[in-house]
């Protein structure tokens, strides 16, 4: 018995399109069979479109943009602290800047090249440390830069969540199309059973018999009617 759920859904849909072509070849004068072929084609193409139709590239580009913005905001704080440390104009605040710089960036800025999750964790730590140093932040004029970093980090996380939602929605969309394909195959196989186990029927169904069952080796057999 042929169960769609036992096979990779994308491969079933692709094989179904080949079955449709062969069905039209072998039963060109059978209106009922051609109608079944049309239904199968629609169901199979819907599955393939679902696999390919969720384009996450714009969301990925948005994530990359927000990552670059937060990187620049971190560097702005680093450079402002360096300015206080290096310029004689800021001699009075050089000590406070040096202490805060060591606290925040004593290990350098390599975390900006780390994975998104690691960088996010590190930026949240930086923000927490800045929140714990309100006097130094005020003395060094960092407040607007801290808020800018807080905003850019929040925007980055929002874009990551949006991209995750797109990706999460794809399996649900695809799963909802499994049953229509199953029904289309079942109805067609019922009609083919009435033709008997002829050479034409074997030829039509051969793309399905070559499918490999998910999680176990398959023994190619002529598909029987899918169970409900």
Q: Centre a 10 Å sphere on the Cβ of residue 195 and count the other Cβ atoms it contains.
A: 14
Instruction: Please write the tens of the pLDDT for every residue from 192-227.
Output: 888 876 888 889 988 988 887 764 433 333 444 444
Neighbouring residues of 1: CB distance < 8 A, sequence distance ≥ 6: 224, 225, 226, 227
Average pLDDT, the chain: 86
Q: What is the pLDDT of residue 139?
A: 97
Q: In this structure, are residues 226 and 182 in contact, taking their beta carbons and an 8 Å threshold? A: yes
pTM greater than 0.85 (yes/no): no
Count the residues in the chain: 228
Over residues 136-189, the pLDDT tens digits come to 999 999 999 999 999 999 999 999 888 877 766 666 667 778 889 989 998 998
Residue 198: how many other CB atoms lie within 10 Å: 11
Asked if residue 5 has pLDDT above 80, the reply is no
Mean pLDDT of 54-69: 86
pLDDT computed for residue 53 by the predictor? 63
């Amino acid at each position: 018995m042929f169960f769609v759920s036992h096979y990779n859904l994308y491969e079933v849909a692709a094989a179904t399109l080949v079955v449709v072509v062969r069905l039209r070849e072998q039963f060109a004068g059978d209106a009922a069979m051609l109608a079944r072929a049309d239904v199968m084609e629609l169901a199979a193409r819907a599955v393939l479109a679902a696999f390919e139709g969720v384009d996450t590239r714009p969301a990925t580009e948005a994530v990359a943009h927000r990552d670059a913005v937060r990187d620049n905001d971190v560097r702005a704080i680093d450079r402002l602290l360096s300015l206080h440390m290096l310029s004689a104009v800021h001699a009075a605040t050089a000590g406070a800047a040096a202490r805060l710089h060591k606290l925040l960036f004593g290990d350098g800025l390599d975390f900006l090249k780390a994975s998104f999750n690691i960088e996010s964790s590190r930026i949240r730590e930086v923000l927490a440390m800045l929140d714990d140093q309100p006097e130094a932040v005020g003395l060094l004029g960092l407040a607007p830069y801290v808020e800018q970093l807080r905003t850019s980090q929040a925007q980055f996380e929002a874009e990551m969540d949006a991209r995750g939602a797109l990706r999460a929605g794809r399996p649900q969309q695809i799963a909802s199309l499994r049953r229509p394909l199953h029904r289309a195959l079942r109805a067609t196989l019922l009609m083919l059973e009435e033709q008997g186990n002829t050479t034409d029927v074997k030829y039509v169904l051969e793309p399905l018999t070559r499918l490999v069952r998910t999680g176990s080796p398959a023994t190619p057999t002529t598909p029987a009617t899918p169970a409900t």
